[in-house]
Structure 1
Amino acid sequence: MYRDLRISYELKKQIAKILQNDIHDTRINKFSNITDIVISKDFSYAKIFIILSYKEEKSKNKNNSLFYLNKTTEYIRYVLRKKINLRKIPKIKFFLDSSFKEGKYISDILNNLKIKKK
């Protein structure tokens, strides 16, 4: 369990650095925040959840950004091989993290219920 957390943390940190420093594609936002990584038990697959910038969220470029991020996964794995000493670098897939939106939606519903009760 502890090893899983360490590897997950290191992957998250290194992928964030790679997105900021090593990818020079203007279609990919360098400041996308990685919120979570879910790694399979055998470390062969990793789901990376990201939040795009507010500007990208509003401009309806979410799918384009995600598409181009997922097109660079082989390059990200290539750079990870140099930075992390793992026997097997997991295959990467990026997903949009909607948990903050869902949390805000639920919070708004609860606040509305409190207001109506008074």
Structure 2
Amino acid sequence: MTAFRVGDQVTIHNSQTGPERIATVDAFTEGNRCMVLSDGTKWRADGQRQWRVGSGYYKGPVVERTRPGDVDIVTRRRAIGVIRKFAQDLNMDSPLDAAALTRIVERIQAEQAAAPKPVDSED
């Protein structure tokens, strides 16, 4: 018997970086030994390792029930990745005009100004 059921929201956790992805349990196969998630990945029904990974030592991501805060962490991680990719690809040949770039900069500055300041700041 598995701790998960079809329709459960789960989080794929990496042992070093924490919550990576949010998914939903779509189905069980292989006599309820394999769990298929909404992102297409297959896991053992207990969520401890991916299905049919080689027989060697496995220390990788695991599937756990989604806990409070997991969605925020995953959303933040994804947003930071998109922003970094955007900034990395940005150069003078980019198709965005000066007005669009100025709007982006203004929004970044507004969000930074609205963010809570660290308590231990010595400014």
Answer whether TM exceeds 0.5 for this pair: no
TM-score normalized by the length of structure 1: 0.29
TM-score scaled by length of structure 2 = 0.28
* Bigger share in strand: 2
